[in-house]
């Protein structure tokens, strides 16, 4: 069942070899306890690790307690949070060779929110929440209490927290880091003039607005071994006039390339409730293509990529190097199997599941042998 499928061709992300071009995008689960991974994460990440994808990226993981989006967010800021995640990772690793990355994040002014199934709105400090931190004392949405603007000492503390969390991740065997500079969270807030109205060296010009995210990247890069992959997720546009846009995203990506960035994961939006997103199949792919063309960096395309033929075309035509699925993978945790079946490719499956290979798809799971008395 040999295939010339581009989607199922291997790819090197620095020293990591991915079996194919399918990435499981980071997806918040809002199910940690004091930042510590729970039994839910063992089940959730274990299931995804058996999916046959090329890379699994663990959900947005806060580098400080106040950097959590919700009280249930995963964290990596202490020995306890490190040990909890290490246990979950060890369980998945016993049964899957899939490379695992982690998205490190600080929510900024979008912190202290309820879980989506509880409405997702801001939680007041007196109601179990906390005071969010941000580039400027500007609330995310009208009617919300303003966040606290970060001073230079606060910036230094958060920068160090990103570096410390990256070291913890590397120590427990995580293969790559993705810094979260998308979806309206802290690093994106610094980039966007909608959220950043500072008058110091961290606000105003594009160079100034890029300064803190680049300093965080440099700190993380310097804290890790040479060659260890550090990439970034960015929102290519705010979908708001006068906001962050593709031209600025390209400039930011070029600056990241000069600093040793391993990949760019290209999403969009999230910094303003006023966004007007032009939704449609693969609607963010042109952004990934533009950044890939301008920088030569490996790019990950994401957003309403649901069909195997669509994902195949994105990779085969050079629009992006890798394709990420999020909700589609939750809906169909064996999406890579079904994609391989449609495209005539081979995919990895745990031996405990080999007997599920359909009779007409000999070779879907490779050169497997099953015997029974």
Q: Which residues are catalytic?
A: 185
Q: In terms of DSSP H, where are the helices of the chain?
A: 39-49, 79-95, 152-171, 186-191, 206-223, 246-258, 285-295, 308-316, 327-331, 335-343
Tokens of 284: 């963010």
Under 8 Å between Cβ of 249 and 287:
yes
Number of Cα atoms under 13 Å in the Cβ half of residue 334: 13
Q: Is there a contact between 238 and 194 (Cβ–Cβ < 8 Å)? A: yes
> Encoding tokens for residue 257?
């390339």
Q: Which two tokens stand for residue 30?
A: 């809002």
CA gap 154, 166 in Å, rounded: 19
d(CA 210, CA 254): 11
Q: Yes or no: say if 343 and 8 are a contact pair by the CB < 8 Å rule.
A: yes
> Helix (H, G, I), strand (E, B), or coil: what is residue 231?
strand
- CA 147/CA 110 separation, integer angstroms: 9
The set of residues, in sequence order, having a beta carbon less than 8 Å from that of 17 and lying 6+ positions away, is: 10, 11, 99
Pairing state of beta strands 176-181 and 148-149? unpaired
Which residues contact residue 306 at a Cβ distance below 8 angstroms, ignoring those fewer than 6 apart?
281, 325, 328
Determine the Cα–Cα distance for residues 183 and 164; give it in Å rounded to an integer.
23
Concatenating the DSSP letter of every residue in 83-129 gives: HHHHHHHHHHHHH----EEEEEE--GGG-SB--GGGT-PBPPGGGT-
Q: 350: which 2 tokens?
A: 């745990």
Q: Are 145 and 196 in contact (CB under 8 A)?
A: no
**Beta carbons within 8 Å of 293's beta carbon, 6+ residues apart:** none
């Amino acid at each position: 069942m040999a295939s010339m499928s581009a989607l199922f061709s291997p790819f090197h992300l620095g020293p990591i070899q991915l079996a194919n071009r399918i990435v499981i995008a980071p997806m918040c689960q809002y199910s940690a306890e004091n930042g510590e991974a729970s039994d839910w994460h063992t089940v959730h990440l274990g299931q995804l690790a058996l999916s046959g994808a090329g890379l699994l990226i663990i959900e947005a993981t806060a580098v400080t307690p106040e950097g959590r989006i919700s009280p249930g967010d995963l964290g990596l800021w202490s020995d306890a949070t490190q040990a909890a995640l290490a246990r979950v990772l060890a369980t998945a690793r016993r049964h899957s060779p899939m490379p695992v990355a982690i998205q490190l994040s600080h929510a900024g002014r979008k912190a202290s929110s309820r879980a989506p199934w509880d409405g997702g709105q801001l939680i007041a400090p007196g109601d179990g929440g906390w005071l969010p931190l941000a580039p400027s004392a500007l609330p995310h949405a009208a009617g919300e209490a303003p966040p606290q603007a970060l001073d230079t000492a606060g910036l230094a503390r958060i920068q160090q927290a990103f570096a410390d969390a990256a070291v913890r991740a590397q120590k427990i065997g995580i293969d790559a880091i993705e810094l979260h500079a998308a979806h309206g969270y802290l690093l994106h807030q610094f980039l966007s003039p909608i959220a950043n109205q500072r008058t110091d060296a961290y606000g105003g010009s594009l160079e100034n607005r890029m300064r803190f995210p680049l300093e965080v990247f440099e700190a993380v890069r310097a804290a890790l071994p040479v060659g260890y992959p550090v990439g970034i997720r960015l929102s290519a546009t705010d979908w708001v006039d006068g906001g962050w846009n593709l031209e600025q995203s390209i400039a930011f990506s070029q600056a990241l390339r000069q600093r040793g960035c391993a990949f760019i994961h290209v999403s969009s939006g999230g910094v303003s409730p006023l966004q007007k997103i032009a939704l449609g199949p693969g609607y963010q792919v042109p952004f990934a293509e533009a950044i890939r063309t301008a920088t030569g960096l490996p790019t990950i395309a994401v957003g309403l990529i649901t069909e195997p033929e669509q994902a195949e075309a994105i990779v085969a035509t050079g629009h992006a190097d890798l394709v990420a699925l999020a909700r589609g993978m939750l809906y169909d945790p064996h999406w890579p199997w079904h994609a391989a079946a449609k495209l005539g490719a081979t995919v990895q499956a745990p031996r405990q599941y080999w007997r599920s290979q359909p009779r007409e798809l000999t070779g879907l799971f490779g050169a497997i042998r099953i015997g029974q008395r």
